[in-house]
Every structure is written in structure tokens, then in C-alpha cells.
Structure 1
Amino acid sequence: MESVQPVNLQTIASGVTTGITNKKDAENPQDRFLKLLVTQMKNQDPLKPLDNAEVTSQIAQISTVSGIDKLNSTLQKLVSSSEENRSVEALGMIGHHAFVPGKLITLDKDGAIAGVNLEQAVDQLNVTILDSAGIAVRKMELGVQPSGISTIAWDGMTDSGSKAADGDYTFAVTAKQGGKDVKVDTLAFGLVQSVTPGKDDTLLDMGDELGMVSLANIKQVF
């Protein structure tokens, strides 16, 4: 029958101490573990000594926990660094125009610009400009368009041949390829006025109409 050999207190304690930093930090889990282990060894029953395998297993577990803590700390630093880089990137967008998800199209004396994002090339792209009452003022057949982001330009003329009043409009888009509907996302065009770094995200102020937009939703910058 196998017997359990008594644990050599001095050897085990020395081995554990070697793998632990000398930081005198009461909150360090390794320090707490070592104190508990040494106390347990001092008070062990001579007739029922600690099992070597059990002690070794406990030491391995605390090493694993310590490694996970260090990994989490490293990942947190990487995340913080990434967030700082995104904020710096966003600051460089101030004063530039950008495409963001939306259906707003603003007409001024120079015309109006909006955008679409197509998941594939299409042979038909139709755009309808709507006034504040939802009434169509201009329909444009733009024909073949490539996949990805494309710019829509409106000169401000209505279907009746008159000039539309400057201001905010909305637009709707349909796209087809070989007679089949193709998914299309509409993009509004606005000016980045300021940047607000956040804990979880960086927000860009795109004006009263578009409001605060997440940096992740910036589709193209001009």
C-alpha cells in the first residue's frame, strides 16, 4: 500500500518563494497564498501530513491565476492605447466632410451631395429626392454603379424644371441587378465640427441635423 510522504516544509516554502516577486503588497494573491500555505504546513497533523501532489497542484493553480491577471492587465493597456489612437484619428477629421448612415441631403446654392453603399455592382440605381412633407421633387435614374460607396450629386432642379428651395431634404434609393433587388445603404453628407472622446467610443458632432455620430459609423472622409 502506498504511503503519503511528509512534506518538507523548508523545501516547498523555498521553492514557492523563488517564483514569487518580493513586492510587499498585502493584496497580491501570491503573497496571500504563500502565507496560507506556510500556515497550513506549520499546523499540519504529523500523522496526516499534506500530500505532495496536492501542494504542487495548489502552486500550479496560483501561478495560473497570476498569469491570467497579468494577461488581463496587458490587454487593458492595449485597449486603452487603441482608444487613444482612435481619438487622435478623430481629431484629424475636424473641419472635414464625411459620409455617415442617414437619409438627409442638404441643398444650397452649390447643389447637394449624398451617398450610397452597395454590397455589389448594380445595373440600375434610382434615387428619389423628397421634401419635408415626403413629396417627391426629383427622380434620378443613375444606371450602372459599382459595388461600395458612390456619391450622389443633385443640382437642385426639380422634375418640373424649377429650382428647389435651399434647405434639408431626404432621399430614397432602390437598386437592381438583373431585375433582382440589391441591398443598398443610404449615406448622409455632413461636416465634422468637433470630437468628444468617450470611455467606450469616440463621438463626432456632425451638426444639428445629423447629431453625434460614432467614429465607427464614419464611412468615408473628404
Structure 2
Amino acid sequence: MAVSSVSNTAASDWAAQASSTAGASDRFLKLLVAQMKNQDPLNPMDNAQVTSQMAQIQTVSGIEKLNGTVAGLTSQFAQMQALQGASLVGRDVIVPGNQLDIREGVGQGGFELSSAADAVKVEILSPSGQVVHTMQLGAQSAGMHSFDWDAGTATNDSGLRFRVTSTLGGSTTSATALMRDTVDAVTTSGTGFSLELARSGSVGYADVKAFN
């Protein structure tokens, strides 16, 4: 009397770990046939066991097909993003940074508060880090804000920067400096793309806070 030489558990474990759809299907069928040929007549395989094992191999196949579909959609999405990004060349964007943008004698900058603040201070800094002007903006809500500063005869070549400090109840809160920059080019890499900015260099598309 022949006794099963291939265990149900071994076949199930193998099916769950298969990495190749074609190879997995072939090996699964061979194991299943071997089990049925060598099963104990007094203790035959249960139909539920066979169905369960077949469902496992179908699951492996389905997951691999789904992964392939998702990979294809990801690639197409990246291409669409790149095409959309090309239309940004020459446009202004708002990104994290503390370089003051000066146009027609007006210096502009911005900041983002993670929570409301009862006091916000903006300091204009020289290239060496010296404070050349201070603005008290008072209470501000959470979110993005901008400010203007009379820059006089200064230009972007002056290298002026700014620093933002916010407090709530005497405790310092989180404030992120934001600057305006111009998109010079778009570069693609992997599944995403980056913007080449005139002053900030390469910046990820996801880091852009706003478009002007």
C-alpha cells in the first residue's frame, strides 16, 4: 500500500513562496498529481484541501499580474507628470528657502506656520548674517503667509536672506521659511521628476508649496 510521499503542508508552503507565475503553476500541478497518485486510499485527500491549494496558486498568479499592472500605471503616471512639469518652465514657484526675492525695489518672502502664533518676527539678514531690518507681524494663523519689505536699492544680487521666528504663549513654535523662485528646467528620474530652479537648484516636485 503506497503512502503519500508529498505532504499537503509542503505543497502549501511552496505555493505561498513561489516567485514565478509560470514556474509556480507547473510545479504546483506536478506536486498535486504526485499527491493524488500516492495518497492513502484509506485516507484520501479532502476536496477542500485540493480547492484550498488551487486557490493559493491562483492568488500568487493574481498578485503578480496586479503588480505588473501597477508598475505599468506608475510608469505612465510619471510620464504624465513630466509632461505637465515641462509647462512650468519659466513660471514662479514657492518652495522652502530663505532667500529674499527683490523685484522693483520690493523684497518678498513667506513662511508656513504649523500652528497659530501670537507673535511672528521676520528679520532681514545680510550675506554675513547680520540683521539689517526687523518686522513684527503680530499674531498669525496656521498656514502659509507672505510679507513685503522696502528693499530700497537692493537687488537679488545683494544676497539678502530672512529669518522667521514665531511664538505662542512665550514658547517657540515651528515656522518654515518660504521663498519665490523660477523654474529653469525639469528633470526626470525613476518614477518622479524634479524642478531645476534659478536660485535653489534641484527641488523635488513634492516640495513645491505653491505656483505663481
Query: Normalised by the shorter chain, which TM-score bucket?
Result: 0.7 to 0.9
- Give the equivalent residue in structure 1 for 2:9: none
The gaps in structure 1 that reach 5 residues or longer are: 1-5, 7-25, 158-162
The gaps in structure 2 that reach 5 residues or longer are: 5-20
- Give the equivalent residue in structure 1 for 2:14: none
- Residue 182 (structure 1) aligned with residue 173 (structure 2): yes
Which amino acid in the other structure matches residue 171 of structure 1?
A: F
Deviations 1:67-96 (A, max 9, x none): 221222233233333323332332232211
- Give the equivalent residue in structure 2 for 1:51: 45
Residue 81 of structure 1: which of 76, 82, 87 is its match? 76
Q: CA separation of 1:171/1:32 partners in 2, compared to 1, >3 Å: closer, same or farther?
A: same
Matches within 5 A, 1:1-222: 27=22, 29-38=24-33, 40=34, 44=38, 51-53=45-47, 54-157=49-152, 163-164=153-154, 166-207=157-198, 209-222=199-212
Q: Distance in 2 between matches of 1:199 and 1:50?
A: 53
Q: CA deviation at 1:156?
A: 0.8
Percent identity between the aligned chains? 32
Which amino acid in the other structure matches residue 200 of structure 2?
A: L
Is 2:120–2:136's contact at 8 Å kept on the other side of the alignment?
yes
Q: Distance in 1 between matches of 2:118 and 2:102?
A: 27
Q: Which has the higher strand share?
A: 2
The CA RMSD over aligned residues, in Å, is 3.1
Secondary structure, aligned partner of 2:66:
helix
Task: Give the TM-score, by structure 2 length.
Answer: 0.75
